[in-house]
Structure 1
Amino acid sequence: MGVDVEERKFTRQDRQRFRAKVHSCLQALGSMLNDGHFEVSEPKIGMEIELNLVDDAMQPAMANAEVLAAIADPDYQTELGQYNIEINVAPRPLRGRHIRDLETDLRKSLDSADARARSVGSRLAMIGMLPTLTEEHFEHKWISANPRYDLLNQQVFAARGEDIELQISGVPLPDGTGEELSTICDTILPEAACTSVQLHLQVAPESFAAHWNAAQALAGVQVALAANSPFFAGRALWHETRIPIFEQSTDTRPQELKNQGVRPRVWFGERWITSIFDLFEENSRYFPSLLPVCSDEDPQAMLARGEAPSLAELKLHNGTVYRWNRPIYDIAGDRYHLRLENRVLPAGPTIIDTLADAAFYYGTVRAFVDADRPVWTQMSFDAAEENLHAAARGGFDSRLYWPEVGWVHPQELVLRRLLPMADAGLASYGIDAEVRDRYLGVIEARCVSRRSGSTWQRESVVARERAGDSRQVALAGMLDDYITQMHAGEPVHTWEW
C-alpha cells in the first residue's frame, strides 16, 4: 500500500512546488549517499502479499472494509479494489531456518484471516488474477474508500486525457484457438486485478546497483517459473497476464506520446545502473507528479541538524512510478536505509510456492552479485526486458536469451545453471541446507513437471469445458478447486484437476 493522502484538488502551483521539493529531496539523498551514513544491518527477508476476496459462488466479494474489520490485525491493509486486501510481513533475518519459520507463521496468519473473513461471508484467494472478474467489476463504485485510490484514478486520467484501452492477444489453450482482449476502461481498476507478491531486501548503498541489475536480469526467469495469471475478464490470455494488464491499466500516455517514445509509468527501465541515485534521478527527471502533496519538511535543514529526513515528496513520487524492481528509501526511528523491492511475482498458489519463489530469487540474485563476471555485463538490457515479456506470454513454453547459452526454455536454464547458483547464494546467506533443499526442491519439481499455477489453471479449465461447462462455470469451478488446494498447502506441481 502506498502513502495515504487526503481527498483534494491540485493546482498548477502545487505541481511546481512539488517538483521543487522532489529536487530538494534528491539533493539531500545525494548528500546522504556521499556521507555513507545509511544503516546496513544483516540481510533480511520481507514481503507484501496481495489477496483477493470471493464469496461462496467464487465471485468477487466487494467487502474489504468489512473483512479488515473482522480480521482486526494491523498487518492486513486495504488495496485499490474493494475485493483486495494486503498482508505486510515483518522483516526477519535471511539466515538459518528463518524462511522455514516464516512459512509456518504465514500459514497460521492466513488461516486465521480466512476464518475471520468467512465469518462475514468472504474467503481469501491467493492468486495472480482473480479469474471470475468481469468488466462490470471495473466500474468506479468498486474503488476502495481510501482517498488515495480515487485521487490516483483521477490523476491518471487527467494526465492521459482519454479512456484506457486494453489490448492483448492471448496464448491458445491446449485445445483451442487464441483469444483476444480489446476493451475500453474509464477507471484504473483493471490494475486491482493484478495481485502480487513483493519481495524486499535491505541493501547497502554501494552494492545496491549490483543487486538491482541482478534482479533485472533474473526477472524473466522468475515470471516463467511462477506464472499464475492466465485468465482476465473471462478470456485466456498470457500465462502471466498481470504484466501487460498492469502496464496498460496505469499508462498515462495517449497514443501520440507513446509514438514519441515517452516513458511509461510501469517501467522496466532502459539501462544497467551504477548507483541507486540513477533510479531516483530518472524518476524525477522523466515523470510528472501524479499526487503532488507537499510536506513542510526541509530535508537539507534536517541533515544539517543531524536528523533523518523522511524525503516525503521523493518517496511519494517514487510510489507512483511502477518499476518492476523498485528502489525504496525509508527510515526507522532515527536511522535511514535502502531496500530493493522486487515486484514481478504473482500471488500464490500456496505459501510453500511463494517461499520457494522467494528463496530462488534471493539465492540467485546473491550468486549473480558475487560472481566474478556478473551476468548483466554479458547481456544487453534490452534482452533482459524482452525476456520478461516473453516469459509472461509463454511461461514454460517461452524461449529466453541467456549469456553463453543462447536461446533456451526457462526450465532448462534453471535446472542446468540457476538452481546450483541459487543454492550457493542461499548458503552464502547462512541458510540451513535442509531449508535450501525444501524450497529449491519445489522449484526443481516445478521445472521437471512444467506445472506452474498458470498451467494448472489452464488445464483445469480446458478439462471442465470438455466436460460441457461454459467458460464462466469452468472458471468458477476451477477457482473453487484452486482455493481448496491452496489451503491444503501442497505445492502446485503436485495438484490434480
Structure 2
Amino acid sequence: MGEKVEAGGFGLAERRRYRQRLRECLDGLERLLEEKRFDRPQNLMGMEIELNLVGDDGMPLMLNSEVLERIASPDFQTELGQFNLEVNIAPHRLQGRVLDQLAEELRTGLGYADRKAQEVAARIVMTGILPTLTGEDLVHANLTGADRYLQLNEQIMTARGEEIFVDIEGIERLQYASSSIAPEAACTSVQLHLQVTPARFADVWNAAQCAVAVQVALGANAPFVFGRELLRESRPELFLQATDTRTPELRAQGVRPRTWFGERWITDASDLFEENLRYFPALLPICGEQDPQRVIDEGGVPDLDELVLHNGTVYRWNRPVYGVAGGVPHLRVENRVLPAGPTVTDVIANAAFYYGLVRTLADEQRPVWGRLAFDDAAANFDRACRDGIDAELLWPSRRRLGGVARVPVVRLVRDELLPMAAAGLDSWGVDAADRDRYLGVIEERCRRRVNGASWQAAAYHRELDRGLDRWAALAETTRRYCELTRTEEPVHSWPA
C-alpha cells in the first residue's frame, strides 16, 4: 500500500465505475499473458521490513516523522502507526554471495537509521508485535497522517459499520474493541518478493502456500498482544481481525475475510487477481485515466493502476503482484507471513530457507500440493501460529503412498526440508558458504527449539518468577530483547 492516495470521499457511482475499470485491467492482464509480454527469468528477489520505534525502556515512541526526517533516505518510509517505519531493500539476483550481501546492506542501513533515531531518544527494533504496546497506543490519533492510511481506515470502518472487536484466545484471552484499524499497526513483518514468469507463477505460489506454516513455526516472534500471552505467532490473527470489514452476520454467512489464506490450489497466473475482483469490494475506488487495451494496442505496457491498488487491499499471506520495470511487465509472489526480527542474521536465515525451499517444492515432479489437501495446508498454518516451534504439521508421508502424517515441525525441517532448501539455493546459484551459514541458523533453531517467540515467553516468565508484575515483566523482557538484538547473534544463541 505504498501508492499515493489522495484524501476525499467517494461518490455513489464511483464504485460501479471502478468495478468496470478493474474488469478492464484484468482483461489487459490476461491479454499480456496471452501475448507473452512478460519479463524473462531474472532470479530476482526483494525484501521489505517493518520496524518499531522504542525508547531505552522498550516502550513505543510515536516519532516516525521526526526519525524519517533525520534518516532522509528513500529506502525508509512511513507505515500505518506513528511508531512504525519500513525499510525497502533493492532487488537482488539470487546468486553468489547474495545472502551475505543482503545482511551487510541491512546492517548498514538499519545501523544508520538507528543512529539517526537516537537523535530523538528513539531506537529501532525488529519484532512481530512489540510486547509493550497497549490498547491506548493503538488509537486513531496515533495513525500516520498520510492520506492513504487515513482513507484506508475510513473505508474499512465504513464498510464494517461498527467497532472492530478483537477476540483472540491462546494461552490467555484478549478481547478489545477499537474504533479504527490502528491495531493493525502492531503487526510488523518481513515481506519477501520473488519475481517469476507467468508459466511458473502457479507452481511457485502453491509451493509458497505449502511453506507458510513451516515459516511461521520456525520464525514465530509475536507471543504477546496488549499485555496478554496468546499464540506463539499472534500477528496473523490480529491482522486478520484488525482489517476485517465483515460484521458477525457476514462472517456467519461465510463471506471471505480480506486477510486470507485462500481456499484452493491455483493453475494459472491470473487466478488470484480474478478472485480478488470476484470476492472483494473495492475499499479505495480511485480511477485513473489509462485505457489498458489502448495502451497495449499502441505497443505499450499498461500500469493497471486500479488492479494494483485493489490487489494491495486484499491481504493474502502470499500475494500476487503485477509491476512494470524498465517498460516491461513482470509478476511477483509476495510472501507476507514472517514477523520481523529478531536480528538481521535471523531475517536472512528465514529468507534463505524460504527461497531455497520454494524453489525445490516448485520444481518437484510430484508436487506437495498434489498430495496435501488445501484445507490441511490451512490447518497447518493455524497450528503453526498457535504452537510455533513446537507445532506438529501434516505433511505427505514418505512411508505411505498417498498418505499424510502429523510430524513435529523441527523433525520435518531437519530430516526433509532443510536438504530441500539447500538444493533449492544450489539451483539458484547461491554460494555454498552463504547456503551453509544461514541454513545452519535454521538447523540450530530446530536443534535447540528456540525462536523469537519461545525466547520472549521464557524471558517473560522468568521476570514474573522474580516477582515483577505483568507490565514490568513485559517491559524488562522487551528491554533485554532490544539489547540482545544489537549483538547480532541469532536468537537461538541468546542467553536465557
Determine the C-alpha separation between the residues in 1 that align with 2:120 and 2:389. 39
Q: Which residue of 1 aligns with 2:312?
A: 319
Q: Secondary structure at the match of 1:349?
A: coil
Determine the C-alpha separation between the residues in 2 that align with 1:417 and 1:56. 42
One of 369, 393, 408 as aligned partner of 2:362: 369
User: C-alpha offsets along residues 338-364 of structure 1, whole Å, 9 cap, x if unaligned?
Assistant: 111000000000001000000000000
Contact 1:212 1:325 (C-alpha < 8 Å) held by counterparts = yes
Q: Which residue of 2 aligns with 1:118?
A: 118
Q: Secondary structure at the match of 2:412?
A: helix
Q: Which residue of 2 aligns with 1:174?
A: none
Q: Which residue of 2 aligns with 1:78?
A: 78
Determine the C-alpha separation between the residues in 2 that align with 1:475 and 1:157. 31
Query: What pairs with 1:133-152 in structure 2 (closer than 5 Å)?
Result: 133-152=133-152
Q: Which residue of 2 aligns with 1:411?
A: 410
The farther-off stretch of 116-125 and 209-218 is 116-125
Q: Secondary structure at the match of 1:132?
A: coil
1:41 CA drift (Å)? 3.6
Amino acid of the structure 1 residue aligned with 2:243: T
Determine the C-alpha separation between the residues in 2 that align with 1:100 and 1:109. 14
Determine the C-alpha separation between the residues in 1 that align with 2:260 and 2:45. 24
Q: Which residue of 1 aligns with 2:98?
A: 98
The farther-off stretch of 132-141 and 451-460 is 132-141
Quick check: 1:51 aligned with 2:44?
Answer: no
User: C-alpha offsets along residues 136-189 of structure 1, whole Å, 9 cap, x if unaligned?
Assistant: 012110010111111111111111111111111122xxxxxxx11011111111
Contact 2:167 2:176 (C-alpha < 8 Å) held by counterparts = yes
Q: Which residue of 2 aligns with 1:379?
A: 372
User: C-alpha offsets along residues 24-69 of structure 1, whole Å, 9 cap, x if unaligned?
Assistant: 0000000000011101242022100000001222211101000000
Amino acid of the structure 1 residue aligned with 2:213: G
Determine the C-alpha separation between the residues in 2 that align with 1:374 and 1:12. 47
1:459 CA drift (Å)? 0.3
Contact 2:38 2:198 (C-alpha < 8 Å) held by counterparts = yes
Query: What pairs with 1:155-194 in structure 2 (closer than 5 Å)?
Result: 155-171=155-171, 179-194=172-187
Q: Which residue of 2 aligns with 1:10?
A: 10
Q: Secondary structure at the match of 1:221?
A: helix
Determine the C-alpha separation between the residues in 1 that align with 2:176 and 2:482. 29
Q: Which residue of 2 aligns with 1:175?
A: none
The farther-off stretch of 473-482 and 233-242 is 473-482
Q: Secondary structure at the match of 2:99?
A: helix
1:2 CA drift (Å)? 2.7
Q: Which residue of 1 aligns with 2:400?
A: none
Determine the C-alpha separation between the residues in 1 that align with 2:365 and 2:290. 43
Q: TM-score, normalised by structure 2?
A: 0.98
Query: What pairs with 1:191-270 in structure 2 (closer than 5 Å)?
Result: 191-270=184-263
Amino acid of the structure 2 residue aligned with 1:228: N
Query: What pairs with 1:319-358 in structure 2 (closer than 5 Å)?
Result: 319-358=312-351
The farther-off stretch of 438-447 and 478-487 is 478-487
1:105 CA drift (Å)? 1.3
Determine the C-alpha separation between the residues in 1 that align with 2:364 and 2:39. 25
Q: Which residue of 2 aligns with 1:176?
A: none
Amino acid of the structure 2 residue aligned with 1:392: C
Contact 2:283 2:313 (C-alpha < 8 Å) held by counterparts = yes
The farther-off stretch of 40-49 and 341-350 is 40-49
1:16 CA drift (Å)? 0.8
Determine the C-alpha separation between the residues in 1 that align with 2:44 and 2:26. 26
Q: TM-score, normalised by structure 1?
A: 0.98
Determine the C-alpha separation between the residues in 2 that align with 1:370 and 1:139. 46
Determine the C-alpha separation between the residues in 2 that align with 1:294 and 1:443. 45
Determine the C-alpha separation between the residues in 1 that align with 2:495 and 2:196. 40
Moved segments of 4+, more than 4 Å: none
1:215 CA drift (Å)? 0.2
Aligned length: 490
Determine the C-alpha separation between the residues in 2 that align with 1:44 and 1:30. 23
Q: Secondary structure at the match of 1:488?
A: coil
Contact 1:238 1:394 (C-alpha < 8 Å) held by counterparts = yes
1:199 CA drift (Å)? 0.1
Determine the C-alpha separation between the residues in 1 that align with 2:495 and 2:40. 45
1:411 CA drift (Å)? 0.6
Q: Secondary structure at the match of 1:138?
A: coil
Contact 1:40 1:202 (C-alpha < 8 Å) held by counterparts = no
Q: Which residue of 2 aligns with 1:23?
A: 23
Determine the C-alpha separation between the residues in 2 that align with 1:105 and 1:138. 31
Quick check: 1:38 aligned with 2:31?
Answer: no
Determine the C-alpha separation between the residues in 2 that align with 1:286 and 1:168. 25
Q: Which residue of 1 aligns with 2:89?
A: 89
Quick check: 1:305 aligned with 2:304?
Answer: no
Gaps of 5+ in 2: 398-403
User: C-alpha offsets along residues 273-304 of structure 1, whole Å, 9 cap, x if unaligned?
Assistant: 00120000000011000000000111110000
Q: Give the % identical residues.
A: 52
Q: Which residue of 1 aligns with 2:475?
A: 476
Determine the C-alpha separation between the residues in 2 that align with 1:337 and 1:469. 53
Gaps of 5+ in 1: 172-178
Determine the C-alpha separation between the residues in 2 that align with 1:398 and 1:95. 32
Contact 2:164 2:242 (C-alpha < 8 Å) held by counterparts = yes
Determine the C-alpha separation between the residues in 1 that align with 2:122 and 2:324. 36
Contact 2:128 2:222 (C-alpha < 8 Å) held by counterparts = yes
Q: Secondary structure at the match of 2:137?
A: helix
Determine the C-alpha separation between the residues in 1 that align with 2:75 and 2:2. 14
